[in-house]
Chains A and B, each alone.
Chain A
Amino acid sequence: MKTIKGMLILLAFFGAGTLANKWLHVPLPGNLLGMLLLTLGLCTGMVKMDWVECASNLLLRHMMLFFVPILVGVASYLKWIAGDPWPIVLSLVLGPLVVMLVSGRVVQWYLNRHKQKAEHRPLEGRALDA
């Protein structure tokens, strides 16, 4: 019962995000807008975590499933790839590799520096947490 109620709330936010994208011409897709709206709702306490937690866990656990039809459905495009495969293969492998390294290293570097600072000034760090 709780899951159904949560699912309806998630659908409502998805609908709201989609409408905001269509009518207000916000340049982000409806699902991302819906996610931002719900995050806002949860952080301000307008939506209780308890209402949506079950439904959210259910959807996130099976998120992979929702990608399957996209992948199966575009199998007919494989002809495009077979014609000239190297640029595609190279981009597909190189892209995520380099992006992962760059973004991950930058954040790791920042976090390391952040931690060092906190160690040097423990009092200030604690004041921030409190």
Chain B
Amino acid sequence: MLDQLLAVAVTLVGYKAAVLVVDRFPRLQPLVVATICVWLVWWLIGGDWEAYRAGGEWISFWLGPATVALAVPLAKQVKEFVHIWRGVLLGVAAGCAVAILTVRLVGWLLGTDQTLVNSMMAKSVTTPIAVELTRSIGGIPALGALFTVLTGIVGITIARPLLPWAGIRDDWAIGIAVGTSSHAVGTANLNRVSPVQTAASSVAMILAGVVTSLYLIPFSL
């Protein structure tokens, strides 16, 4: 129990430190910096990893209410969405199809282990859905969660140079691109930039979850 409290404390302090570091160097990703800080501290004090996982759940639990909180930016943008829902749905559906195709293509070209491929297929959708989907198509759920978060980090890292270069400039186009490719990690990142992009990204996240679940039905066991 004491171990778990320590894990919570270390995570909070590591996050706070990361926020301070990112304020000084805005090019760094807060999530990556925080993870490295926490990992280093826990390793240095020789903490038990099982205890960290148990304690960490006290914090990752709040991902649930935080996702619910996305309803606020979403409700503020609902009118705009109703106006352009066709384009949004088309974009998300195309993006989700490409997400699954790239994983299968890379797996096929490099002759990857099928369990690994299955664990990566759902990596573009938000973590709780990705875990469930990975289980249903015969992948390893924890690995699915890891790939999902890593995909999100790659997504927010490449978004800043990539999107302007590709002429993706409107708030809704940016939000949908980030939400479809890097789910809640991307959405959390956009929250620092613009409420419209955050709302668009939440819409994309929900739709991507639904569309990907439908796409993966043929693969489920």
Contacts and interface: CB of A to CB of B under 8 A. Distances in A.
A106 B91 contact: yes
Interface string A53-91: 101110111111111111111111100100010111011
B132 interface: yes
Interface of A: 7, 10-11, 13-14, 17-18, 27-32, 34-36, 38-39, 41-43, 49, 52-53, 55-57, 59-77, 80, 84, 86-88, 90-111, 114, 128
B103 A95 contact: yes
Nearest to A115: B170
Interface residues of B, number: 110
B52 A106 contact: no
A18 B127 CA distance: 15
Contacts of A10: 65, 68-69
How would you classify the secondary structure of chain B's contact residues: helix, strand, loop or mixed? Answer: helix
Nearest to A11: B65
Interface of B: 7, 11-12, 14-15, 30-31, 34-35, 38-39, 42, 49, 52-53, 55-57, 59-76, 78, 83-84, 86-88, 90-92, 94-96, 98-99, 102-103, 106-107, 110, 112-113, 116-117, 120, 123-124, 126-129, 132, 142-143, 145-147, 149-152, 154-155, 158-159, 162-163, 166-170, 172-174, 176-178, 180-182, 184-185, 187-189, 191, 198, 202, 204-206, 209-210, 213
